[in-house]
Structure 1
Amino acid sequence: MKYTTIAAVALLIGGSYLSAKATLFSPTDSITVETYSDIFFKLESSSISIDEIITGASQFADSLCDESIYQEVIGESVNSCKQKFKQSQAQCADFTRKNSEAMYTDKVAITLVSEKFINCMSNS
Structure 2
Amino acid sequence: MTPEQQDLMDRAEQSLQAARILADEALFDVSVSRSYYAMFYCARASLLALNLSSKSHSGTISLFGQHLAAAGRLPIEIHRQLIDAERLRILGDYGGANSHCSQQDAQVLIAQSARFMQIAMEFLAQ
- Same-fold call, TM cutoff 0.5: no
Larger Rg: 1
Q: Shorter-chain TM-score category?
A: 0.3 to 0.5
TM-score, length of structure 1 as denominator length:
0.34
TM-score, length of structure 2 as denominator length:
0.34
